[in-house]
Amino acid sequence: MKLAVVDWLFIGWYLALSIAIGLYYSKRAGKSISEYFLSGRSLPWWLLGTSMVATSFSSDTPLAVTGIVVKDGIAGNWLWWNFMLGGALTVLFFAHLWRRAGVVTEVEFIAIRYSGRPARFLRGFKALYLGVPVSCITFGWVTLAMVKIIRTVFGTSGLTALAICLGLTVFYTTLSGLWGVVATDMLLFGVAMAGSIILSVVSVEKAGGIGALVDAVKAAGAANGKDYLSVIPPLGQALPLAFFVALFVQWWAVYYPGAEPGGGGWSAQRMLAAKDPRHAVKGTLWFTVANYVIRPWPWILTALAAIVVFPGLTGAAPGETEAAYPRMIAFVPKGLAGIIIASLFAAFMSTIESIVNLSGSFLLNDLYRPFIRKDASEKHYVAVSRVLVLVIAVLGAAFSYVLGSVKMGWQLVMELSAGIGLVLLLRWYWWRVNAWSEIAALGASAGTAIVLKLVPDNPVVRGLGRALERAGFAVDAWGVGILLIVAVTTVAWVAATFLTKPDDEAKLLAFYRKVRPGGAWGPIAKLNGRSYKLQAAPFAGWALAVVMIFFLLFGLGKIIFMDWGRGAAYLAAGGLAAFGLSRIIARMDWEG
Partner 1 sequence: MALGFWGVGLPLGAFGLLFSETTAQRLTVLALAAVFLAVGALIGRAKR
CB-facing half-sphere around the CA of 6: CA atoms within 13 A? 6
Q: Do 96 and 250 form a contact (C-beta atoms < 8 A)? A: no
CB of 568 to partner 1, least distance (A): 21
Cβ proximity to partner 1, 42 vs 500, nearer residue: 42
CB of 43 to partner 1, least distance (A): 12
Q: Which residues bind partner 1 (CB under 8 A)?
A: 6, 10, 13-14, 17-18, 20-21, 44, 183-184, 186-187, 190-191, 194, 197-198, 201-202, 205, 333-336, 338-339
CA distance 395 to 258: 22
CB-facing half-sphere around the CA of 351: CA atoms within 13 A? 27
Nearby residues of 295 by Cβ (< 8 Å), 6 or more positions away: 53, 57, 61, 193, 196
- The Cα-based distances of 484 to 29, 198, 443, 488, 497 in angstroms read 45, 43, 14, 6, 20
CB of 390 to partner 1, least distance (A): 25
CA distance 67 to 61: 10
Which residue pairs, CB below 8 angstroms and at least 24 apart, start in 155-161?
Answer: 161/11
Q: Do 66 and 306 form a contact (C-beta atoms < 8 A)? A: yes
CB of 28 to partner 1, least distance (A): 13
Cβ proximity to partner 1, 9 vs 372, nearer residue: 9
CB of 202 to partner 1, least distance (A): 7
Cβ proximity to partner 1, 205 vs 476, nearer residue: 205
CB of 440 to partner 1, least distance (A): 45
CB of 209 to partner 1, least distance (A): 9
Cβ proximity to partner 1, 187 vs 425, nearer residue: 187
Cβ proximity to partner 1, 337 vs 488, nearer residue: 337
Cβ proximity to partner 1, 186 vs 540, nearer residue: 186
Cβ proximity to partner 1, 312 vs 333, nearer residue: 333
Cβ proximity to partner 1, 268 vs 346, nearer residue: 346
Angle, helices 537-560 vs 277-289, to 10°: value is 30
CB of 350 to partner 1, least distance (A): 13
CB of 331 to partner 1, least distance (A): 10
Cβ proximity to partner 1, 153 vs 191, nearer residue: 191
CB of 18 to partner 1, least distance (A): 7
Q: Do 547 and 284 form a contact (C-beta atoms < 8 A)? A: no
CB of 223 to partner 1, least distance (A): 28
CA distance 368 to 105: 13
Identify residue 456 by its one-letter amino acid code: P
Kindly tell me the number of DSSP H helices and DSSP E strands found in the chain.
30, 2
Q: φ, ψ for residue 78 (rounded to 5)?
A: -60, -20
Helix, strand, coil percentages, rounded to 5, for the chain: 80, 0, 20
Cβ proximity to partner 1, 194 vs 495, nearer residue: 194
- Hey, which bits of 182-303 come out as E strands? 239-240
Cβ proximity to partner 1, 210 vs 238, nearer residue: 210
CB of 184 to partner 1, least distance (A): 8
b/e for 418-457, b at 16 or more Cβ within 10 A?
bbbbbbbbbbbbbbbbbbbbbbbbbebbbebbebbeeeee
CA distance 479 to 487: 12
- The Cα-based distances of 365 to 122, 359, 390, 508 in angstroms read 14, 10, 16, 22
Cβ proximity to partner 1, 205 vs 276, nearer residue: 205
Q: Do 426 and 433 form a contact (C-beta atoms < 8 A)? A: yes
CA distance 291 to 522: 37
